[in-house]
């Protein structure tokens, strides 16, 4: 089982460029999440999708947009990248929202904005 698959694994952008990070899960989970991980800090929630057709802001949504394309796929878009968005981005999924489920994470996308 693939679990949660993220693409690309690495990306370098120039300030002002746009890009979309892709995420897909094959576990039939309803809920999906985007986190960013920065040195010395815990993972912070950017956006989440409780179920297909819904999306909600997390702790640090500014500068990002998301699309829940279908039950399997949840993408994260940076419209105009800034150096402050240099980070490692993780997609995760759970059967449903709430804290009672273990999260399955993807392997991450390491993004550098120069």
Partner 1 sequence: KNQVEQSPQSLIILEGKNCTLQCNYTVSPFSNLRWYKQDTGRGPVSLTIMTFSENTKSNGRYTATLDADTKQSSLHITASQLSDSASYICVVSYGSGNTGKLIFGQGTTLQVKP
Is 92 among the residues that bind partner 1 (CB under 8 A)? yes
Give the strands of the sheet with 64-68, arranged side by side: 4-7, 19-25, 74-78, 64-68
Cα 61 to Cα 22, 44, 90, 99, 100: the distances in Å are 17, 10, 14, 20, 24
Is 107 among the residues that bind partner 1 (CB under 8 A)? yes
CB of 8 to partner 1, least distance (A): 14
Closer CB to partner 1, 19 or 50, in the complex? 50
Is 42 among the residues that bind partner 1 (CB under 8 A)? yes
Is 43 among the residues that bind partner 1 (CB under 8 A)? yes
Cα 102 to Cα 23, 28, 29, 81, 92: the distances in Å are 18, 14, 12, 31, 10
Is 60 among the residues that bind partner 1 (CB under 8 A)? no
Question: Where does this chain bind partner 1 (CB under 8 A)?
Answer: 4, 40-45, 50, 90, 92, 96-100, 102-103, 105-108
């Amino acid at each position: 089982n693939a679990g949660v698959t993220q693409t690309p694994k690495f990306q370098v952008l120039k300030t002002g460029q746009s890009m979309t990070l892709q995420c897909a899960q094959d576990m039939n989970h309803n809920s999906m999440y985007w986190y960013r991980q920065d040195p010395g800090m815990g993972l912070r929630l950017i956006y989440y999708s409780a179920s297909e057709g819904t999306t909600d802001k997390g702790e640090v949504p500014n500068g990002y947009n998301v699309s829940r394309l279908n039950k399997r796929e949840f993408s994260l878009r940076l419209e105009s990248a800034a150096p402050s968005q240099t980070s490692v981005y993780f997609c995760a999924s759970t059967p449903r929202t709430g804290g009672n489920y273990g999260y399955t994470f993807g392997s991450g996308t390491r993004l550098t904005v120069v």
